[in-house]
């Protein structure tokens, strides 16, 4: 009888765990079919996003008067697959929507837009200039401003629900006043104590020892560092379709490539010539997401990093930006994307258009990359 009771309890526990996983984070349920090509038709904002005059100090005051912690400025594009994922997979979770609406007003910004914005620090500029100033290279980018108009946190790119919930809690509960987001995430989600699974290996990864010093002698190729960790589903996804894409494989042949466990004591000589462990280097770089990819030039200077979800076309675009050495003349990735999409065309103010079908012909469409 006692054994039967134990069996029944075990079955019920398994059923609860399965149900929890069914309602769990998108990161755990992520299939390899995530398509980061431009979304057609254009994305519609949730109806609870604030219809703002883009006087952000006024928006902050109104949010505080309503008992909220501040505002979230959302930098997006009209056809961005990652923005759609944020709306569907993050804001689409009922608990995330209610938590956001209770604590923040969300102000949408079109990163290619020409509408005038008055920032919390009193600067007046266009939406595009504001996005450039804040280095919103990867959409969606989110800036959390507190009740004093201070930047509490910025996220660049899309993060699965469990990371997004943590980010909102980090700001709403005021943890940003005491510790970095990296330290907060490490405390909330420490690495496994025991080895669960090996990291994904690739034939193009360099083998130790990792002597990456470029401070004294110029290297022949740029360096790409994969900071990953064990038991990392997002890392598994990166090593599937994104790294199997033929054009990406060709681009990767132009790099020296290293994979590091960001929680390990693996010895490294960094591009700047410092001797430390992979864990210490990850802390120095303030990394909080796995996988994070960081590219360094031949002299050891950081070019760009991807520290959020990146699938086929975003990864390919970043690699092209580096391999073509576009960053030498156009250091900002967003500016390069603007030139490649619009050919350097100066966009007219969006609010100056007449709202007719013909008036939308020249509207900036954006992309998902």
DSSP code per residue over 309-359: ---HHHHHHHHHHHHTTHHHH---HHHHHHHHHHTTPPPPPGGGS-SSTGG
Closest CA to 189 of 158, 154, 160: 160
Residues contacting 298, CB < 8 A, separation 6+: 214, 218, 219, 220, 221, 222
Predicted pLDDT at 369: 59
Instruction: Please tell me the least confidently modeled range out of 170-174, 186-190, 229-233, 284-288.
Output: 186-190
What does the buried/exposed string (b/e) look like for 110-133 if buried means 16 or more CB atoms within 10 Å of the residue's CB?
bbbbbbbbbbbeeeeebbbbbbbe
> Considering the chain, what percentage of its residues have pLDDT values greater than 90?
72
Predicted pLDDT at 40: 86
Residues contacting 336, CB < 8 A, separation 6+: 321, 326, 327, 330
Stretch 197-213: mean pLDDT, rounded? 93
For residue 289, pLDDT over 80 is answered with yes
Instruction: Provide the CA 92 distance to its chain's centre, in angstroms.
Output: 18
The CATH number of the domain covering residues in 56-188 = 3.40.30.10
* Global pTM value: 0.84
Superfamily of domain 210-331: Glutaredoxin (3.40.30.10)
Cα distance between residue 207 and residue 85, in whole Å: 36
Q: What is the mean pLDDT of the chain?
A: 85
For residue 277, pLDDT over 80 is answered with yes
Report the run of H or E that residue 241 belongs to, with start and end: helix 241-244
Return residue ranges of the chain for CATH 3.40.30.10. 56-188, 210-331
């Amino acid at each position: 009888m006692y054994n039967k009771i134990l069996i029944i309890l075990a079955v019920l526990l398994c059923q609860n765990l399965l149900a929890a996983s069914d309602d769990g984070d998108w990161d755990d349920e992520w299939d390899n079919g995530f398509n980061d090509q431009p979304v057609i038709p254009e994305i519609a904002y949730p109806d609870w996003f604030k219809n703002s005059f883009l006087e952000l100090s006024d928006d902050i005051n109104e949010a505080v008067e309503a008992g909220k912690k501040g505002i979230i400025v959302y930098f997006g594009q009209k056809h961005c697959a990652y923005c759609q994922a944020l709306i569907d997979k993050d804001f689409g979770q009922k608990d995330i929507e209610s938590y956001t609406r209770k604590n923040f007003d969300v102000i949408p910004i079109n990163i290619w837009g020409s509408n005038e914005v008055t920032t919390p620090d009193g600067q007046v500029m266009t939406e595009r200039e504001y996005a450039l100033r804040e280095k919103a290279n990867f959409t969606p980018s989110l800036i959390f401003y507190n009740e004093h108009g201070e930047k509490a946190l910025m996220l660049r790119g899309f993060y699965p629900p469990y990371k997004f919930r943590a980010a909102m809690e980090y700001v709403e509960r005021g943890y940003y006043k005491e510790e970095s987001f990296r330290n907060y995430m490490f405390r909330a989600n420490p690495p496994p104590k025991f080895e669960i699974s090996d990291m994904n290996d690739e034939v193009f990864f360099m083998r130790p020892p990792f002597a990456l010093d470029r401070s004294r002698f110029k290297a022949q190729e740029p360096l790409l560092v994969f900071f990953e960790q064990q038991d990392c589903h997002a890392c598994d996804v990166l090593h599937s379709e994104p790294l199997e894409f033929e054009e990406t494989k060709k681009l990767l042949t132009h790099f020296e490539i290293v994979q590091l466990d960001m929680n390990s004591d693996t010895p490294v000589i960094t591009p700047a010539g410092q001797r430390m462990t992979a864990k210490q280097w990850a802390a120095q770089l303030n990394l909080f997401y796995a996988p994070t990819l960081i590219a360094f030039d031949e002299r050891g200077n950081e070019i760009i990093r991807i520290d959020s979800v990146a699938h086929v076309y975003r990864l390919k675009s970043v690699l092209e930006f580096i391999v073509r050495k576009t960053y030498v003349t156009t250091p900002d990735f967003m500016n390069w994307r603007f030139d490649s999409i619009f050919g350097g065309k100066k966009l007219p103010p969006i609010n100056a258009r007449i709202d007719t079908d013909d008036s939308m012909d020249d509207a900036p469409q954006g992309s998902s990359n």
